[in-house]
Amino acid sequence: MGADQDARAVPDPYAGLAAEVRAALVRRIAAAGALRDPAWRAAFAEVPRHLFVPYYYVPTLAGYERLWSGDPDADRRERWLRGAYSDGPLATRVRDGEIVSSSSQPSLMARMLEALEVEDGHRVLEIGAGSGYNAALLTHRLGDPLVTTVDLDPEIAEAARRHLAAAGHHPAVITGDGARGCPGRAPFHRIIATCALPSVPRAWLEQSVPGGLLLAPLANGLVVLRVHDQGHAEGRFLHTPASFVPLRGGGPVRTSVPHVGGLPRRVAESEQFRFLLTLTAGVLDPHEALSLWQREGRPERERFGVTVSGDSQWAWLDDPEGPYAWTLGAPGTERSTPS
């Protein structure tokens, strides 16, 4: 019997400790400025994250150590449970030394869900089922019929379905290519991706209602786009940095920061500059990126945005029609080259 099956119901002795550490997690997230919406605070307070991570992997010098609910050692079981309520990402599947699925950092999930601006009655599509925890939070807020989650990997989708059922939630869990959305359950008021993208799939716009929102990780950041119609969407990046597993089958993703030698340490380690490097990787020469960044007052993420118009989409600084814009998903075809 696999670990997922073993952990469908956490033994009663853990119920009290799980409630205690879950409440502590909610307090930490709230203290950091998230969970201002009582509905989301209630979701994080009531959805048991440990049911969605019956096992996970923590990095060690030798690779990864597996912690799981069925460990015969009581101390390690308690370590697993407390770790499930840490405010950090948890690697839930590792293949050939690479993380292919994870449960995101709870405080980051809280900020993303609040930025999604959901309202009662909204239909939501999640791209990347992961452990199922994010879908459970959405379902707690909106109800089973209004939530759909899609994952390309059948094993991940099935595990998410089991975890959700164990927690009493039954949204639609679909095995399929997230880049294609889920046309059979469209249209959606909100689409949220929990995997990094090279660009915004056109299918998501086509499956959104006019005025809907798309929230997706791009270039180590999070962009929120307002959908004007099936061919047009536009929006800006959130202040929050983010790192996610790439969308499988979605093409190369700009997630690594190019190495640029000869820079002052304070510049090389600047989160804002590293974001610009990642956003323009393969499109803009890193030294040009540095010149732009310094000349424009060291812009932070919120000054950058993304426009989707027909078959074209580009990232930009300050103004979508301004001088600084870079085509997404097609390295080497930037609209302009700052000097």
- Token readout for 290 is 């540095």
What pLDDT score does 334 carry?
37
| Burial of residue 165, with CB atoms counted within 10 A of its CB: 0-12 exposed, 13-18 middle, 19 or more buried | middle
| Burial of residue 191, with CB atoms counted within 10 A of its CB: 0-12 exposed, 13-18 middle, 19 or more buried | buried
pLDDT at 4 over 50: no
Confidence of residue 283 (pLDDT cuts 50, 70, 90): confident
- How many residues appear in the chain? 339
Helix ranges (DSSP H) in the chain: 3-6, 15-31, 38-46, 74-84, 106-115, 133-142, 154-166, 202-206, 265-268, 271-279, 286-295
Percent of the chain with pLDDT strictly greater than 70: 87
Q: Which residue has the higher pLDDT, 267 or 120?
A: 120
- Token readout for 70 is 């069925």
* Mean pLDDT for the stretch of residues 183-193: 98
**Rounded (10°) CA dihedral 67, 248, 174, 58:** 10
What pLDDT score does 102 carry?
86
Q: What is the mean pLDDT of the chain?
A: 88
Ranges of beta strands (E only) in 108-238 are 124-127, 147-151, 172-175, 188-193, 208-218, 221-229, 232-237
Q: Which domains does the chain have, with CATH numbers?
A: 3-176 (3.40.50.150), 265-327 (no CATH)
pLDDT at 111 over 50: yes
d(CA 117, CA 178): 21
pLDDT in tens, 161-173: 999 999 999 999 9
As annotated, the active-site residues are 101
User: What is the crossing angle of helices 106-115 and 38-46, to 10°?
Assistant: 150
Nearest to 82 by CA among 8, 16, 135, 21: 21
d(CA 257, CA 191): 27
What pLDDT score does 259 carry?
56
* Mean pLDDT for the stretch of residues 87-99: 88
What pLDDT score does 282 carry?
80
pLDDT at 331 over 60: no
pLDDT at 177 over 70: yes
Of the listed ranges 10-19, 24-33, 57-66, 203-212, the least confidently predicted one is: 10-19
What pLDDT score does 194 carry?
92
pLDDT at 16 over 50: yes
pLDDT in tens, 42-54: 999 999 999 999 9
Confidence of residue 11 (pLDDT cuts 50, 70, 90): very low
